[in-house]
A and B are shown apart, each in its own frame.
Chain A
Amino acid sequence: MREAVLFFFIVVAGTAGELCVSRAMKSIGEVHDFSPKSLLRFILQALRLPWMWLGIALMSVGFFSLLAILSFQEVSFVVPVTALSYAAGAFGAKAFLGERISAHRWMGIAVVCLGVTIVWWSRR
């Protein structure tokens, strides 16, 4: 039960946070120049966006949940189960970022979920 709650926070808050960050990043535009000066400008630009901060807050919730679960479960169990964020990510990216998810991609995501199920069976 405790595990289920923590996994829920890791997957849902973590994915929602990444979607917010992705939205912020897309509004800045594609990065072409990798010099330190323009990377710094890129970071400062990103930190001015509210979506970025909302994303960071949500990802923090996910991160602390991850720390909590790692205190009593194996890394090789916890991390594969967090792959459930693929399904969450696809739904979120479609609804929130307007990305088109092809049938091909949905099929891959279904296979990933099957893999997560198998890893869950290996729980100790």
Chain B
Amino acid sequence: MTHTRRLQLKTIPLILICIILGPLGNVFLGKAMKSIGSLNSTSVAELVPVASRVLMSGYIWLGIACLLGFFTVHMLLLTWADYSYVQPAGSLSYVSIAMLSYLLLGEAISPLRWLGVAVICLGVFVVGRTSPSTTGARTNA
């Protein structure tokens, strides 16, 4: 088994976890922020009540929990895989974000938007088929 193959065997499952947790977190954040209403004010005095309302929302914490899980897995990945590999490969999350926004938030996804998401994923597919590491991570023996 080549070094690249071995790296991919542990890299791909962790990327899949990222693809689910990251978008789920964003969907929950969106749900929380929409319930607060549009943030128009630039005055600091008005930010305090808004911030406290945000922090009281259960969805914001659910979203933050998902994103923390995502962040931890992402950090693990970055100890051996190139940033410029992990970031594009994880971007299949744009498909899951569109599906989750439709299913959980009821957002209407126009055909144009689906086309944009599909093109992004095509770009991801092109980028994803390159070697996970070009600089060679140092190893703790």
Q: How many residues of B contact A (CB 8 A)?
A: 58
Q: Chain B interface secondary structure, helix, strand, loop or mixed?
A: helix
Cβ-neighbour of B107 out of A71, A72, A75 (below 8 A): A75
Question: Is B21 on the interface with A (CB-CB < 8 A)?
Answer: no
B39 touches A71 (CB 8 A): yes
Q: How far is the CB of A4 from chain B (nearest CB, A)?
A: 16
Known: A102-B130, A121-B112. A75 touches B101 (CB 8 A): yes
Nearest A residue to B104, CB-CB = A75
Q: How far is the CB of B140 from chain A (nearest CB, A)?
A: 4
Nearest A residue to B125, CB-CB = A108
Interface string of B20-42 (1 = CB under 8 A from A): 00010011011001101111000
CA A19 – CA B84 in complex, angstroms? 10
Question: Is B54 on the interface with A (CB-CB < 8 A)?
Answer: yes
CA A90 – CA B120 in complex, angstroms? 15
A122 touches B112 (CB 8 A): yes
Interface residues of B in 92-141 (CB under 8 A from A): 93-94, 97-98, 100-102, 105, 107, 109-110, 112-113, 115-130, 134-135, 137-140
Q: List 21 contacting pairs A-B, 8 Å CB cutoff, sorted by A.
A: A21-B78, A22-B78, A27-B138, A28-B140, A29-B79, A29-B138, A76-B101, A79-B97, A79-B101, A80-B97, A80-B117, A86-B88, A99-B84, A104-B126, A105-B84, A105-B127, A111-B123, A112-B119, A112-B124, A117-B116, A119-B116
Sample of 19 more A-B contacts, CB < 8 Å, known A75-B26, A111-B120: A26-B135, A29-B137, A29-B139, A30-B138, A76-B101, A76-B105, A76-B107, A86-B87, A93-B83, A98-B135, A99-B135, A102-B130, A111-B126, A112-B91, A115-B116, A119-B113, A121-B112, A122-B112, A122-B116
**Residues of chain A at the chain B interface (Cβ within 8 Å):** 18-19, 21-22, 25-32, 46, 66-68, 70-72, 74-80, 83, 85-86, 89-90, 93-94, 97-102, 104-105, 107-122
**Residues of chain B at the chain A interface (Cβ within 8 Å):** 23, 26-27, 29-30, 33-34, 36-39, 54, 75-76, 78-80, 82-84, 87-88, 91, 93-94, 97-98, 100-102, 105, 107, 109-110, 112-113, 115-130, 134-135, 137-140
